[in-house]
Amino acid sequence: MFTGIVNGIATVVSIEKKKKINSYTVKLPSILSKTLTLGSSVAHNGCCLTVKMIEKSYITCDVVEETLKNTNLSILKVGDNINVERSAKYGDEIGGHIISGHVMNTVEISRILQSDNNYTIWLKVRNSFLMKYIFYKGFICLDGISLTIGDIINNEFCVHLIPQTLLTTTIRNKKKGSIINMEIDFCTQTIVDTTERLINKNC
């Protein structure tokens, strides 16, 4: 489990591509590698991955075909930076919202609006089926960042970013056309799906 409060930025140092699976090695900020053990979960751009190798501040994780198909990890290159978060521990503060690390799909940045002390990103949902889970002021997780949904128009929605988020995550480097991982709020999904089943059952 994660909280969507990014702990730091890691750099991809190597990618080993095999049939239906890739192995990624990233360099973590040194503070994040402390107490890390084999089998630990670390979110890479919001994707929950399991650590299979540790060498000082370098960790290696495998990414299977299903994750490659539904996330932006498949388009990462050596030298790219990613948002990372260590898994939450019992008693930790939940500063964002509860996140599983199971990315549903990706979204594409369609517009970036900047003005004095305001930074707004509009995102196009690539799988329109997921729009039923997008609600005004609802939770959303983008590249591992817990954010609040702003306006919604057709199959697009926006998020408003505070300076701290821009300072401490990779989202400040994104441009129009960038592909970002999206995890919808599990509670929202459960409510919507349950309501749909009840309505269909009673029809």
Chain segment 58-89, per-residue pLDDT in tens: 999 999 999 999 999 999 999 999 999 999 87
- Residues forming a β-bridge with 125: 107
Q: Is the CATH number 3.40.50.1980 carried by domain 105-202?
A: no
Q: Is the dihedral of CA 195, 200, 201, 203 positive or negative?
A: positive
Instruction: Tell me the mean pLDDT in the region 4-27.
Output: 95
Nearest of 137, 84, 75, 82 to residue 106 by alpha carbon: 75
Chain segment 117-167, per-residue pLDDT in tens: 889 999 999 888 999 999 999 999 999 999 999 999 999 999 999 999 999
Q: Where in the chain is the domain with CATH 2.40.30.20?
A: 8-86, 105-202
> Is pLDDT of 97 > 90?
no
Task: Look up the pTM and report it.
Answer: 0.93
Largest CA distance in the chain: 59
Task: Provide the 8-state DSSP code for 76.
Answer: -
For the domain bounded by 8-86, which CATH number is listed? 2.40.30.20
CA distance 100 to 190: 14
> Is pLDDT of 33 > 90?
no
CA distance 29 to 10: 7
> Is pLDDT of 106 > 90?
yes
